[in-house]
Amino acid sequence: MLLLRRCLSLARFSPLNSQRHQVSPTVALCAVRLCSSSGGGGGGGEDQRSYQHTHRPRWRHALAGLLAGSGAVLAYGLHNHKAEQEDISVQNLKKRSGLPIYSQEEVTKHRSLENGVWVTYKGGVYDITEFVAMHPGGEKILLAAGGALEPFWALYAVHNQEHVLEILSEYKVGELSVEDQKKQQAIKSSDPYASDPERHPVLHVNSLKPFNAEPPPEILTDSYVTPSAFFFKRNHLPVPHVDPATYQLRVEGLPGGVLTLSLEDLKTRFPKHTITATLQCAGNRRSEMNKVKQVKGLNWGIAAISNATWSGARLRDVLLAAGYRPDVAQWAHHVQFEGLDKDVTGTTYGASIPINKAISEEGDVLLAYEMNGEDIPLDHGFPVRAVVPGVVGARNVKWLGKIVVSAEESSSHWQQNDYKGFSPGTDWDTVDFKSAPAIQELPIQSAITTPADGATIDRSVETVTVKGYAWSGGGREVVRVDVSLDGGKTWQVAQLRGSEEGQGPESSPPPGRAWAWKLWEITAPFPHEAEELEIVCKAVDSSYNAQPDTVSPIWNLRGVLSNAWHRVKVKVREDEREA
């Protein structure tokens, strides 16, 4: 919206403002075209086509997420945009013949705000200097300065959309010389996602490139420990393929100098520590915020959360081996993680956690090499990922390549300008990312997985069974889940379960170390007078924090931390067999 507003205000000074339109109904249409073409044209081949086939009925849902962008980097807030003409952008791109011809050499001179920022795309030359300040992904756009956009858009596939081309068209200043166009075509851009692993077809895909998907809610709570194939997947970049034989983890920033560890070192030099821990994406349940007012981010449902057992070396043990001593804490306040997943410029995914979490005996931070008793799957960080229990998924860095003990937080985009919470009154015009702390521990959360919203129930039934999950960050144990069948007027207490069904109840974890969720269930008498049930759940953790009642007051522009009471409506049907 900020973007749109700024573009509109700029447009007043542009000869092209008559070509701006508001899109919306056609968004799904053009995006389907996009995804089909990227599936067919990329390196996915048979596999990719089979995903499309499987997910066709879900496109409309998944596309909402894809279109909302994958992280602020990719977000263009296009839902308020309405196209009344098909292929308007292609017309625009071709319209301005008669513009000057530039060589690649000339284009390359424009790589800074001072000298102008030029890029090329499909033979056109664009001066995007004015757009840099408006780019939702920030100055990252400068990485493409002086060169071609194609390799970046192959990475951040969300750019491949009508309205993005439409915006681009306004900045056209010339044509690239025919010789240089031929040279560009010779360097065929490959699909960096071509070697992403196969995924289970049951997953609801929110974004294919990078891959982001969640299991269906009814499957999520079938098992206390989520099978890895169903565990939600949240990638920011293509999945890197790391050879375990040559893998090396660098530990930097400590007085002893750099420590380098092989996978074998991690497995043999340090005790193997196992925890069961729930990971949750900061954007879990974002779709409920989108219903209040459009936010930027993947349109997650209620299943961007899963629970697994993780085994590995304790970060604490590795830091001690690398030279950590108590006096280090006087200047070192953070432990930074760098992934091996990177974009075309070599920028890796990064995040950091407070050093007291990293070094505490009770923090249980792992450099995990096993998930659910097996090697960590490719999508979840093979061969080594950080598992920071009680902390938002984004800090549990996958494909871990480097650990840096530092006085500073990670400088990565995802630590500094993303994954932070703001007031509902803060918009993209007023937001100051420095004013909010990076999300670490997450607040109390719960959701209903059965019945589904919109399900029907026969009036003749005696009882209603409701199931779901509940979890809180910071190792705070879920101590109670309240369930209402009447929209929150009256409440009953659900049964909690902290282990696989059939197993005896686990003993309560030590205070502050309850890393895993509770599954819950309640079977309550069916209220026969009801025309419709509004089923609501809310959980309480060991610090007696409760979930807020409604979404609006916690709405925030990035759509994170969506933890209001979860509500599903169930219709009551007159039993046909009775009639």
Chain residues in the site for a second copy (CB under 8 A): 333, 354, 356-357, 362, 421, 423-426, 436-437, 439-444, 473-474, 476, 479-480, 482, 488, 490-493, 510-512, 538, 540, 542-550, 553-554, 561, 563
Active site annotation includes 159: yes
Residue number, 343 or 477, with CB nearest to a second copy: 477
430: left (phi over 0), alpha (psi -120 to 50) or beta: alpha
Radius of gyration, CA atoms only, the chain = 25
Least distance from a second copy to the Cβ atom of residue 472, Å: 8
- How far CA 299 is from CA of 108, 214, 218, 285, 289, in Å, comes to 38, 11, 18, 8, 9
Least distance from a second copy to the Cβ atom of residue 188, Å: 45
CA distance 110 to 130: 13
Least distance from a second copy to the Cβ atom of residue 525, Å: 13
**Active-site option among 5, 135, 200, 333:** 135
How many residues in the chain? 579
Residue number, 361 or 374, with CB nearest to a second copy: 361
Residue number, 47 or 362, with CB nearest to a second copy: 362
Residue number, 127 or 427, with CB nearest to a second copy: 427
Least distance from a second copy to the Cβ atom of residue 235, Å: 24
Least distance from a second copy to the Cβ atom of residue 116, Å: 37
Least distance from a second copy to the Cβ atom of residue 514, Å: 11
**Active-site option among 76, 193, 247, 419:** 419
Active site annotation includes 7: no
Residue number, 500 or 549, with CB nearest to a second copy: 549
**Active-site option among 55, 81, 199, 234:** 234
- How far CA 334 is from CA of 329, 331, 360, 367, 443, in Å, comes to 9, 9, 13, 16, 21
Active site annotation includes 419: yes
**Active-site option among 281, 324, 334, 469:** 281
Active site annotation includes 110: no
Active site annotation includes 79: no
DSSP assignment string, 413-479: HHHHSSSB---TT--TTT--GGGSPBP-BPPPEEEEEESPTT-EEETT-SEEEEEEEEE-STTPPEE
Residue number, 449 or 563, with CB nearest to a second copy: 563
CA distance 207 to 213: 7
Residue number, 164 or 530, with CB nearest to a second copy: 530
Write out the two tokens for 251: 């530990």
Whether the upstream peptide bond of residue 451 has omega within 30° of 0, thus cis, is yes
- How far CA 396 is from CA of 83, 316, 365, 380, 392, in Å, comes to 40, 15, 9, 10, 7
Residue with tokens 């292609």: 90
Least distance from a second copy to the Cβ atom of residue 396, Å: 16
Task: Kindly provide the b/e burial profile for residues 452-479, where b requires at least 16 CB atoms within 10 angstroms of the residue's own CB.
Answer: eeeeebeeeeeebebbbbbbbbbbbbbb
**Active-site option among 81, 110, 111, 159:** 159
CA distance 116 to 129: 5
Is residue 272 within 8 Å of 187, Cβ to Cβ? Answer: no
Catalytic residues, which ones?
A: 135, 159, 234, 281, 419
